[in-house]
Amino acid sequence: MNTPVKDVSIHVSDTCIHLQSVNDLSALSSGVVGGGFQKTRHIINVHVDKNYFCSNPAADLRRVARASGIHENFIGMMTAAKIDSTSPVFLTEHGLTVGAITTAGLSNSTCAGVTPPFPPRSQAGTINTIIILDARLSRAAMVNAIITATEAKTAVLQLLEARTKDGQPVTGTSTDSIVIAATGGGDYFNYAGSVTLPGWLMARAVRLSIMRALSGS
């Protein structure tokens, strides 16, 4: 599908979300593949079985990428949450367009600082979020954007009164991933906190996309 962001498209199947850009995107990610700061034209979020467990998930993601025709640098995430019902959210205000594409499930929910450490068991219940901004962001703003998007995610979980298996308020899941990607076009932003224009739009888009993802899960 085409998006309101020029030269950026999204393909959603029952096994993969593929965001593709004609031009390089500046990205910051916690993905299984392509974590940290980098340039890329491809971001994928791949569906796996709820009992999936592999010692080398990055290799599995690279195989999926090659099968999807990606033979260059990419960012890859995994989830056992539903993908084919994903509904991207795009918002535009004062010339800035921001989009959020989220897959979400809460079967693997945690409460940060309360839930004790445990070995990763699967990708079940993961909340994965891809955020695309038609703008230029400083590196500090991209880090700031992750804070803002995470605050918005947790706010939705609090609004839904989600609880972990032991009754604690859910702040996320143990395997959440996020990507912040900027086209490099449009205005330049040095900050992306919750009351900046990019932060405000991101937070609204994240809230809507998570609500839609959870309602369809």
Alpha-carbon dihedral angle through residues 129, 132, 135, 140, given to the nearest 10 degrees? 20
DSSP 8-state code for residue 64: H
> Is pLDDT at 123 greater than 80 in this prediction?
no
Let me know if residue 203 belongs to a domain.
Answer: yes
What percent of the chain has a predicted confidence (pLDDT) above 70?
97
> Of 119, 162, 144, nearest to 203 (Cα)?
144
Run of H or E residues at 38: strand 36-47
Let me know if residue 187 belongs to a domain.
Answer: yes
Let me know if residue 1 belongs to a domain.
Answer: no
How many other C-beta atoms are found inside a 10 Å radius of the C-beta of residue 85?
14
Give the integer Cα–Cα distance in Å for 87 and 129.
12
Model pLDDT, residue 124: 64
Let me know if residue 201 belongs to a domain.
Answer: yes
Domain total in the chain: 1
pLDDT range class, residue 121, cuts 50, 70, 90: low
Give the integer Cα–Cα distance in Å for 45 and 18.
7
Let me know if residue 107 belongs to a domain.
Answer: yes
Let me know if residue 2 belongs to a domain.
Answer: no
**Single-letter residue type at 170:** V
How many residues would you count in the chain? 217
Q: What is the pLDDT of residues 44-102, one digit of tens each?
A: 999 998 888 888 999 999 999 999 999 999 999 999 888 877 889 999 999 999 999 99
CATH number of residue 123's parent domain: 3.60.70.12
DSSP 8-state code for residue 190: S
Domain that holds residue 139: 8-215
Let me know if residue 149 belongs to a domain.
Answer: yes
Phi, psi of 4 (to 5 degrees): -65, -10
> Is pLDDT at 108 greater than 90 in this prediction?
no
Q: What is the pLDDT of residues 165-182, one digit of tens each?
A: 999 999 999 999 999 999
Give the integer Cα–Cα distance in Å for 55 and 68.
22
Place of tokens 């989830």: 79
> Is pLDDT at 115 greater than 60 in this prediction?
yes
